[in-house]
Structure 1
Amino acid sequence: MIDSTIPAHVLRRVIETALEEDAPWGDVTSEAFIPADAVATATLSAREPGVLAGGQVFVAVMHAVDPAIEASVAVEDGAVFAAGDVLATVSGCARAVLRAERVALNLVQRMSGIATTTAAYVDAVAGTAARIVDTRKTTPGLRALERHAVRAGGAHNHRTSLSDAVLAKDNHLAVLAARGVPIGDAIRSARERLGHTVHLEVEVDRIDQIEPVVSAGVDTIMLDNFSPAMLVEGVALVAGRALVEASGGVTLDTVAEIAATGVDVISVGALTHSARALDLGLDVVVRERATAGFSAGA
């Protein structure tokens, strides 16, 4: 079971914004076609195998539209499922279920796609000491949900935001270089100003930058777009004095070779910025008379 750390106020804001976007003046189709007293049951079903993330988010969307809807998940976030598996069930006012359908599906499909992609990366580095982590390359407004999905896939989170840790990247170093400030001096000066609990990481893109950065006292050094051979050399130069993070251009085809170099962390932007939404469908049965299937349509 994956413990959700999605702040309640963040989830509420995401759902409210999405529902307002999707039905700003109500669901005119359901109001025109569906009787007000119609009741529906529905199952969230998998059209393909994957890893679930966002089950409780799916439920929260349903309850945001109508608190009287009965909704429950059949499997926990982080669980592996097969095509055809039922992942959640809902029952209640048909109009409310139909109004919530697309937003609920959009979020759980997106989150499950991230969890499934993440699990593939985690499996690829099994047996090594490398930790797979995400990046800040998330969908604006959905970072908390997407980071939860990464954890559901078995990986870890990098810093949540610019406010959480110091990570001096190439553009920071370019500004310092333009002012003639040596990188080692900048790191030592930053360390003096920072609180003792603040993590300090610096990105480098050349072998010759490693020693000045590590000797200045960083907690983590990021080796950006290093080849596997250069990563091996970099890990040896760091020699345990800091955590070593590999980043840049990491794919499923390359991640195992990167992990084998001895790096501690591999950050993968593709976990969130390139994950494909998983094919899940909501199949609704109106109890009175008719049966209708609603899946990933418009």
Structure 2
Amino acid sequence: MKNSYLTQDNLQKFIKSALLEDVGTGDHSTLAALPENVQGAAQLLIKEEGIIAGLDLAKMIFEHYDPHLQVELLLKDGDKVKAGDIGLKVSGSAASILTTERLVLNCMQRMSAIATKTYKLNQLIKHTRTKLLDTRKTTPNFRMLEKWAVAIGGGQNHRFALYDMIMLKDNHVDFAGGIAAAIKATQEYLKANKLKLKIEVETRNLDEVKQVLETGGVDVIMLDNMDCPTMKEAVRLIGGKYKTEASGGITEETLKDVAECGVDFISVGALTHHVKSLDISLKAV
């Protein structure tokens, strides 16, 4: 697993927590309706076109709940799929399959939606050098899987959380007394606490870009809610000295134009907070 947040420990913690939320004291519908020790099989049916994500996780969920379940993955995460495709087959205890069904589907439907949207947007800017980033606009307690889905769809993960990168947004700058004050205070904080974190600063206009350039000591300059002429001028002023990130209200319709301004990255919160679940079901066979 190439992303540092995707550890076996983190995934197992998520699965345990999610099963506790959903199963609680027991799946009484299944316990009531099924005779003990009934065996069965089911397959994951894809009902619409997209990019599949969460198959590896589905296998972990099934096997965590019941190590005796047999799971066969017929596709891999990141594959293009269409209606009628079968993603996996699972066999063993019918009760175990029924109890884990909803958690598997909830994860896979949302992850696949995010991977599909990420792939679609990436296709719009593939002729440029610009990379697509996600944000922290994620579902509480589901961030790890949403960022995993972005990576599966071909996007790049921005900082995972507040602890792994410094991002000085407009409110930080305003409360700190300006860009220079915010950057200098941050540098002193990192030095005092022996931390090595990248620093990104949000700018709202060309004057603020110039202030960052005059102050220095950062890694990324965010160009927030700028129109294309202003953004092109900002990129020219920065001249490759720092990485650039475009952000703020960027849509599917404007993404291509923004990428063609020459920025290194575009962050799009809608990758994770504005998607429609991919239609997937688990059917007994």
User: CA–CA distance in 1 between the matches of 2:3 and 2:104?
Assistant: 17
Q: Superposed, which structure 2 residues align to 1:221-240 within 5 Å?
A: 221-240=221-240
Question: Aligned-pair distance for 1:54?
Answer: 1.0
Aligned to 1:289: none
Aligned to 1:27: 27
Aligned to 2:184: 188
Aligned to 1:122: 122
Query: Which structure 1 residue ranges, 4+ long, deviate > 3 Å from structure 2?
Result: 2-5
Question: Aligned-pair distance for 1:189?
Answer: 4.1
Q: Is 1:207 the equivalent of 2:203?
A: no
Q: Superposed, which structure 2 residues align to 1:129-278 within 5 Å?
A: 129-177=129-177, 182-194=178-190, 197-217=196-216, 218-278=218-278
Give SS of 2:261's match: coil
Tell me, yes or no, if the aligned pair for 1:214 and 1:221 is still in contact at 8 Å. Answer: no
Percent of aligned positions that are identical = 39
Give SS of 1:101's match: helix
Tell me, yes or no, if the aligned pair for 2:30 and 2:98 is still in contact at 8 Å. Answer: yes
Q: Number of paired residues?
A: 280
Question: Aligned-pair distance for 1:9?
Answer: 2.0
User: CA–CA distance in 1 between the matches of 2:2 and 2:80?
Assistant: 16
Aligned to 2:14: 14
Q: Which moved more, 1:263-272 or 1:227-236?
A: 227-236
Tell me, yes or no, if the aligned pair for 2:172 and 2:182 is still in contact at 8 Å. Answer: no
What amino acid sits opposite 2:235 in the alignment?
V
Deviations 1:179-225 (A, max 9, x none): xxx42243134234435842111001122110111222221100111
**TM-score normalised per structure 1:** 0.90
Deviations 1:46-69 (A, max 9, x none): 100111111111111111221100
Tell me, yes or no, if the aligned pair for 1:167 and 1:203 is still in contact at 8 Å. Answer: yes
Aligned to 1:295: none
What amino acid sits opposite 1:98 in the alignment?
L
Gaps of 5+ in 2: none
- Give the root-mean-square deviation of aligned CA atoms: 1.6
Deviations 1:104-142 (A, max 9, x none): 110111111110010011111011011001001111111
